[in-house]
Structure 1
Amino acid sequence: MMLGAKDMLASFGSVIASIVFFWAIFQQYFPNHLRSHFEKYTQRIITLVYPYIQITFNETTGERFMRSEAYVAIENYLSSNSSKQAKRLKADMLKNNQSLSLSMDEHEEVADEYKRVKVWWAFGKNVSKQPTFSFHPVADEKRYYKLTFHKKNRDLIMGDYLSYVLKEGNAIKIRNRQRKLYTNNGAQWSHVVFEHPASFETLAMEPSKKREVIEDLITFSKGEEFYARIGRAWKRGYLLYGPPGTGKSTMIAAMANLLNYDIYDLELTAVKDNTELRRLLIETSSKSIIVIEDIDCSRDLTGQRKKKQDRGEDIDNIADQDKKKAMTMLAREEQDASTSKVTLSGLLNFIDGLWSACGGERLIVFTTNHVDKLDPALIRRGRMDKHVQLSYCGYEAFKILAKNYLKIDSHPLFPTLEKLLAQIQMTPADVAENLMPKTSSADADNSLQELILALQAVNQESEQTA
């Protein structure tokens, strides 16, 4: 029996060797047109017998060899399946340096299932050496993913399945990406890594209003089909207003962390004109928050504009110690007006005109300390859809701060503070500052006593000025 098996293997090897030999002769001596005809008809015969279809997704595409977005999405999608099925994996550190991304190594294959239809993904690469003048020729690697499926499932795979893979892959890419905080210098964006720790859980805000904002944000982030159905751009405007120190900037950071969005902090005074503003808008990405802070400080965009002579009269009427500051502010406004020619109509077109539909899933957030100074056309519903007032610290907001800073949910001094906060106006920022430990040995009693004394001092000062 052993001899028979060896004879079979020897015969099989001889057949393979003969086929390779004749194929080499065929490739070398037969004309190109005969070879092409032979290969064409051979491929047709194989197609009739072989019931599977293959689609290749190359890593690079186009004349400039740009990385294919489809390839990247497939790579992200297959990362979870690869770690469960493949025996040989490649590991790469993600940009956030906090986790690993696993993908298939060369000649590996993983299976996937969609609506009870099975498909197979394989990773491979073609390596060719480019001729160079160096003693060490450069190897040109062309990597690809190959999808194999039965031809009876052609419509399902080419339609629903591939769309599903690309959508899921892009969603994974967004979840794993390193989020950024952008700012503009003229018509150019620059960025740093966004690592603000703020969250709605730690935000000092009345709980019912906080829940309302969270629900609105989540509904917006899931509303792609809704906005498409009603024929509106997938965007939403937020107006955050209230005194300084009430948490407007912190709330923007919490919004970005909740939705996993980038932030574009737009400095209007650095924008030359409306054309430059449009260029900046086009360059913003989806899943982002576009922020214009202190919109009331851009005097040419407010409805309460004053003439220069009126402003001069106002300066004459204020106290001497404040004149220098007022004159400096007036000079700065005039300088901004001369360098920036962004108009109210240009900004409105930015918010809800034709250009606002360039991209989707974006929040536009304005902040202001003086909502009464803004032009009504700027903040009407449909432009600033959600108006959120951030006010002085109430008792519920104080309890959140006490838990954040002191790690306590209750204390004998809480009733006293509840009465004081109901009568005295103090911003969450000032309350938080008074809760900060002044020494390494400070405890909750000391911090709460400090806050009570600060509230009493504010109350005494307001009574003296009344």
Structure 2
Amino acid sequence: MLTRSVANDVLTVGKELRTLADEFIPREYQDYYIHEMQKLLRKNDNEFTIVIDEYQPQLNTADEMFKAVETYLGTKVNESCIRKVNVCKNKETLAVTMNVNEEIIDDFDGVQVKWRSTTEQPGLRCYELTFHNKHRFKILESYLPYILERSDAIKAEESGLKLHMIHDGYPEPKTIILDNPMTFKTLAIEPELKKTIIEDLNNFKNGKGYYRRIGKAWKRGYLIYGPSGTGKSSLIAAMANYLNYDIYDMDLTKVDSDSQLKNIMLKTPSKSILVFEDFDQLQNPIVDDTTGKLSPKKTFSRLLNFMDGIWSCCREEQIFVFTTKCIDKLDPTLLRPGRMDMHIHLSHCTFSAFKQLAFNYLELEDHKLFERIKELLQSANATPAEVAGELMKYTTNSTLLLERLIAYLDNKS
């Protein structure tokens, strides 16, 4: 422990060293050595400091924790701090970071911590996290994992959701920004069904502890079935926006080996929705013109084995969505519990779905023509897509649009 007199002597020597340093030591190295001296003087037995380096030389890679901390602290920099601003990879957002020797005070669950951006050695940055020694367990077990989680959420918000395409058995190098505005608020399905789906998604999202306790992989399977135009793709987009998960469009028709399928599945990360559209086509044997093999049928079996086997535990927090126009065409083995946890039937447009569409497109909550439309929907067997198509025709006259819809439904009845 440093006494006050010794500390004063060291400070005096420090001032003299600073004078010499100005003459003989380059400026970019002075801050580093001065900071090390300051750490020695303010060392306190009650404080605990964790150093998070920018680079892991033993792995020859950037440190993931460092990147997570930098993302997290970028949201904590206040207006009085000196900032560094960088353009993100997508060139649409700016990343705000701490300057060297800048400090930020953060509060986590009543525990105050101090972050400092510094250089462990010239040219390599690091973050120092200092807190009271008695909070060491909470910081290691709760605070740092929280930063990792928040960093993922922040990056997802900045980059936007993505649609990844699986083609010829391998993920394509380029992805598409999923700019689909569909949400559960605007989704035109029955209110009770919508409520049930949202509750199920919430239970899944918050179910990590539950899945670990029962010894099952943290995954969920949804079967969405119904005629074309009933909103299967819109529901998937609403699920992705609600959970903030990327979508992987899985085209497995050309997968011809177990190793290839494993490679595809293991490249899909956590927090993702894997979509298998028109899955009934994959299970039906189709002869390959070049090889004569029934590859789709084999792929179907391989996928079921992957979903049930030990490889399914290699990724967690994933949702599998299978779509089909006709559930009767699906192999019963796919429908058993544990594979398809929830069956979602999307039917023809109901009056509740129509009212949602009328509000979305015309901003109408009620109209004198609604009762007539309600009657016609019971026999017209129109899909939500067909109804939406009639409501989207260019005119500002909502009554005229509803009259045209009535004529369309009357013709289908």
Cα distance change, pair 246–48 in 1 and its aligned pair in 2 (3 A): closer
Aligned to 1:183: 165
Cα distance change, pair 16–355 in 1 and its aligned pair in 2 (3 A): same
1:161-240 to 2 correspondence within 5 Å?
A: 161-190=143-172, 191-240=175-224
Distance 2:229 2:334 in 1: 24
Distance 2:292 2:396 in 1: 47
Residues 122-171 of structure 1, C-alpha deviation per residue, up to 9 Å, x if partnerless? 0023675xxxxxxxxxxxx3111112234454444344433333343334
Distance 1:339 1:78 in 2: 50
**Aligned partner (choices 450, 454, 458) of residue 412 of structure 2:** 458
Distance 1:366 1:358 in 2: 20
- Whether the 8 Å CA contact 1:272–1:341 is kept in 2: the answer is no
Which structure: greater helix fraction?
A: 1
Secondary structure in 2 aligned to 1:200? coil
1:168-317 to 2 correspondence within 5 Å?
A: 168-190=150-172, 191-300=175-284
Asked if residue 88 in structure 1 is aligned to residue 82 in structure 2, the reply is yes
Asked if residue 146 in structure 1 is aligned to residue 128 in structure 2, the reply is yes
Distance 1:48 1:443 in 2: 74
Aligned to 2:113: 119
Aligned to 1:380: 336
Aligned to 2:61: 66
Aligned to 1:445: 399
TM-score normalised per structure 1: 0.75
- Whether the 8 Å CA contact 1:351–1:364 is kept in 2: the answer is no
Distance 1:52 1:13 in 2: 21
Aligned length: 386
Cα distance change, pair 13–383 in 1 and its aligned pair in 2 (3 A): closer
- Whether the 8 Å CA contact 2:395–2:401 is kept in 1: the answer is no
Aligned to 1:16: 13
**Aligned partner (choices 418, 433, 440) of residue 374 of structure 2:** 418
Once the two structures are overlaid, the 10-residue window that deviates more, 144-153 or 198-207, is: 144-153
Cα distance change, pair 144–453 in 1 and its aligned pair in 2 (3 A): same
Residues 324-360 of structure 1, C-alpha deviation per residue, up to 9 Å, x if partnerless? xxxxxx7789989555563443111232322222211
TM-score normalised per structure 2: 0.83
Unaligned runs of at least 5 residues, structure 1: 1-10, 25-41, 129-140, 302-329, 460-466
- Whether the 8 Å CA contact 1:247–1:428 is kept in 2: the answer is yes
- Whether the 8 Å CA contact 2:53–2:120 is kept in 1: the answer is no
Distance 1:395 1:49 in 2: 69
Between Structure 1 and Structure 2, whose CA radius of gyration is higher? 1
Identity of aligned residues (%): 39
Secondary structure in 2 aligned to 1:269? coil
Cα distance change, pair 339–62 in 1 and its aligned pair in 2 (3 A): farther
How far 1:187 moved relative to its partner? 3.3
Distance 1:246 1:152 in 2: 57
Distance 1:413 1:255 in 2: 32
How far 1:257 moved relative to its partner? 0.7
Asked if residue 106 in structure 1 is aligned to residue 107 in structure 2, the reply is no
Residues 56-109 of structure 1, C-alpha deviation per residue, up to 9 Å, x if partnerless? 11111144531211111211222232226x521123345565554322111101
- Whether the 8 Å CA contact 2:275–2:322 is kept in 1: the answer is yes
Distance 2:309 2:11 in 1: 75
CA RMSD of aligned residues (A): 3.2
Distance 1:49 1:291 in 2: 55
Once the two structures are overlaid, the 10-residue window that deviates more, 448-457 or 385-394, is: 448-457
- Whether the 8 Å CA contact 1:242–1:391 is kept in 2: the answer is yes
- Whether the 8 Å CA contact 2:255–2:299 is kept in 1: the answer is no
Secondary structure in 2 aligned to 1:263? strand
How far 1:271 moved relative to its partner? 1.8
